[in-house]
Every structure is written in C-alpha cells, then in structure tokens.
Amino acid sequence: MKHLIDILRAEHHLESNGYKALLECDDDSVVAYLHEQAREVAQGVFARGIFVRGLVELTNVCRNDCYYCGIRNSNTALERYMLTTEQVLQSCQQGYELGFRTFVLQGGELPRDKAQWLVELVSEIRQRWSDCAITLSLGEWPREVYVALRKAGADRYLLRHESHNAEHYAKLHPAEMSLENRLQCLTWLKELGYQVGTGIMTGSPWQSLDNIVEDIEFIERFKPQMIGLGPFVPQHDTPLGKFATGSAELTCRLYSIFRLMFPNALIPSTTALNTIDVKGRIKGIMAGANVVMPNLSPANVRGNYALYDGKAITNAEAAEGIEQLETQLSTIGYHIDWGRGDHKQCTIHNA
Ligand code: SAM
C-alpha cells in the first residue's frame, strides 16, 4: 500500500482501484504514512504557513432546498437574516485591521433580483481593499451574473459539486436542482478566470466509497485551484437530520490524497471538521490542508448561519480568536501566512 502512496506522490494520479484501496485501507501505519507524505508535500510548497480567509456569512436566506442543509428554504425553525452593505463592509474592515487579505462572502442562494446588490457589494469591497482577494461562495447563478461579479472584482469562487454521481446527487437535492447545472456553473466560473474551488461533504447520506472515487476522478479532471471538503454533520430540522455524522478520519485521508494529487492546491481544514473533532483543524493541517477560514460575520448572526448542529463559531473559529489560532498553530510548528495566498501555478518542490 505504501507503494501506491509513493506513486501518487510522484505521479499525482492513481487508477480508480488505487484510490479505492487507499480509502478502504484499515492499516493505521499506512494511513500515517499517507498523512506524512502529504504534509511533506504541503511543506515543500507552502513551508509551514497556513493561509487565513475571513469568512463573512452574508445571509441565511436561501432559494434552494438541499435536504442536508440547515438554511434550506423549507426550514421554518430558523430566524432569517441578511447583512446590510454597511455590516458587510464593517466586517471586512474589522478583518482588514486584524490582518486578513482574503474575504470570503458566503451565503444562501439569494433571490435572482439581489444579483445587482451583490455586484455593487463586490465592487465596493474591491475599491476599498484593492490589495485583498475576494472569494465568493454564493451558489448557482446564470452565467451573466458570474460575469458581472468577476468584472466587479471577484477573484475566486467556491462551489462544491457535492456528488459527481447523478443518482446520489438526486438523493441529496430536490428535483429542481441538478448535477448538470452545478457542473455547468463550475465550467463557466473556470472559463471566466475565477480561481475555482469545488468539493464534497464526506460521509453524506448514501455516499459509497465508489461515489467518492467518482468525486476524486472528477476533481482530477476539473483541476480546481481550491478543494473544499468537510464531513457531513446532521442538522435536526432537515430531512437528513437523523443520518450519521461523517468521519473526521476519512476527511483527513481525502485531504492527504488531494494534496498528493495537487501539491499547490488550497485546501481548507474546515469548520465542519473542527466541529466534529476538537482537534479537527490541527489534524487537517497534519494531513496536508493549508487554509483556515475564521468567521468575520457580526457575532449576533453567527448562530443563525446554522448549516448543521453544533457548528463551531467561537474561539479559534472566530476572527477575534486569531491569537488563539496562532497559538494552536505554533504548537505544531506552523504559523499564519497573512498573504493573499493565491493559487501557485507551478512550483512543486517535492520535499
Ligand atoms: N449556497 C452556496 C452553495 O451551495 O455553494 C454556499 C453556501 S452552502 C451552505 C456551503 C456549503 O455548506 C455547501 O457546499 C455544503 O457542502 C455545506 N453544508 C451544508 N449543509 C451541511 C451539513 N449538514 N453538513 C456539512 N456541510 C454542510
């Protein structure tokens, strides 16, 4: 098995059965070797720096109804909010003063008539903080909206494909949503010159290891600059609220596989991982992740961006806990890299 890992590191590719074998492997020493190789590769490209992105959760209003998501349209148990332009700018200002140079605007999928507001918001952020990267994670829009957001100054876009298996995708989403449209959006984003991120929830209901292999192979072909992976965590007011939580171990294993496939990729150690495992963030970094996304949203709305139960919103998850994050990173010999952290095009120094 270690031989497979060596091949993945050297060639950045395995056959399907190789990926499946790595996912199935229950030998702890092999998994430890996988993480070690991934960590070495990440350190070869990024040294021991971890990029931080300030996350602003714009709104929990959503036109979609994904069966797993706590802010789905049908969830009536949730108090809805939408930040004002002024609140978003204040969050960015606070983030800028703390040292953040990437803002991630994430949110539920707003009604179509809010597109112009989003474009103006991005334009204002671009003018005020010209040295910062703007990442959007605002779901599916018609192509012209992506064009307008890009022209307004957005640099990056995160849109997890969620599952590359159409049958599995259909079990997680209502009939109005389609894998085809999700993939179309990803293609447009790439064509428009965004740095694009995609990914999945690990352990989402009905997900098989074969599904994950399909996801890996899609990501291999799509070549995103960012790869977003977190465990599925149930939210009690959703139709999938009684399914089991995904696995931190499998999530970290995937971070390592993707790091070996894409040495330069930006791979966040996600809040969901840190929610299900108190040491999740650190384990993610030790498996090859190199980004964390502390929360810059106003404190009074954070609890309402309730994607899943128990979502971590305080301490090192929060922007004001940045010192705590720094301390945590220093315990494993890492530090915050305050740069914009754009995707590196071609520097691979296999350590
Ligand atoms: N609406 C945008 C979209 O779909 O890309 C951005 C917001 S959406 C809430 C961000 C991500 O949250 C989704 O891509 C999904 O993977 C994740 N998410 C939603 N519900 C979750 C859950 N129950 N457990 C873990 N992750 C979840």
Three-class DSSP labels, the chain: CHHHHHHHHHHCCCCHHHHHHHHHCCCHHHHHHHHHHHHHHHHHHHCCEEEECEEEEEECCCCCCCCCCCCCCCCCCCCCCECCHHHHHHHHHHHHHHCCCEEEEEECCCCHHHHHHHHHHHHHHHHHCCCCEEEEECCCCCHHHHHHHHHHCCCEEECCCECCCHHHHHHHCCCCCCHHHHHHHHHHHHHCCCEEEEEEEECCCCCCHHHHHHHHHHHHHHCCCEEEEEECCCCCCCCCCCCCCCCHHHHHHHHHHHHHHCCCCECECCHHHHHHCCCHHHHHHHCCCCEECCECCCHHHHCCCCCCCCCCCCHHHEHHHHHHHHHHHHCCCCEEECCCCCCCCCCCCCC
Give the pLDDT confidence score for residue 345 in this predicted structure. Answer: 57
Centre of ligand 1 from the C-alpha of residue 27, in Å = 31
Centre of ligand 1 from the C-alpha of residue 349, in Å = 33
Summarised one tens digit per residue, pLDDT across range 115-151 is 999 999 999 999 999 999 999 999 999 999 999 999 9
Give the pLDDT confidence score for residue 316 in this predicted structure. Answer: 67
Q: Mean pLDDT across the stretch 275-293?
A: 97
**pLDDT band per the 50, 70, 90 thresholds, residue 347:** very low
Query: Would you say the CB of residue 272 lies under 6 angstroms from ligand 1?
Result: yes
Query: Would you say the CB of residue 233 lies under 6 angstroms from ligand 1?
Result: yes
Give the pLDDT confidence score for residue 342 in this predicted structure. Answer: 87
Centre of ligand 1 from the C-alpha of residue 307, in Å = 7
The residue whose CA has the least distance to atom 5 of ligand 1 is 139
Summarised one tens digit per residue, pLDDT across range 33-46 is 999 999 999 999 99
Centre of ligand 1 from the C-alpha of residue 29, in Å = 33
Residue 28 in this model has a pLDDT that exceeds 50: yes
**pLDDT band per the 50, 70, 90 thresholds, residue 224:** very high
Q: Are 313 and 26 in contact (CB under 8 A)?
A: no
Atom of ligand 1 nearest to the CA of 235: 23
High-pLDDT (> 90) share of the chain, %: 92
Atom of ligand 1 nearest to the CA of 70: 20
Summarised one tens digit per residue, pLDDT across range 305-322 is 999 999 877 776 777 789
Centre of ligand 1 from the C-alpha of residue 240, in Å = 13
Centre of ligand 1 from the C-alpha of residue 159, in Å = 9
Query: Would you say the CB of residue 201 lies under 6 angstroms from ligand 1?
Result: yes
Give the pLDDT confidence score for residue 348 in this predicted structure. Answer: 43
pTM of the model: 0.96
Give the pLDDT confidence score for residue 346 in this predicted structure. Answer: 44
Query: Would you say the CB of residue 230 lies under 6 angstroms from ligand 1?
Result: yes
Nearest CA-CA partner of 222 in 190, 253, 194:
190
Residue of 61, 69, 136 to mutate, ligand 1, most atoms within 8 A of C-beta: 69
Query: Would you say the CB of residue 203 lies under 6 angstroms from ligand 1?
Result: no
Q: Which residue has the tokens 């609890």?
A: 303
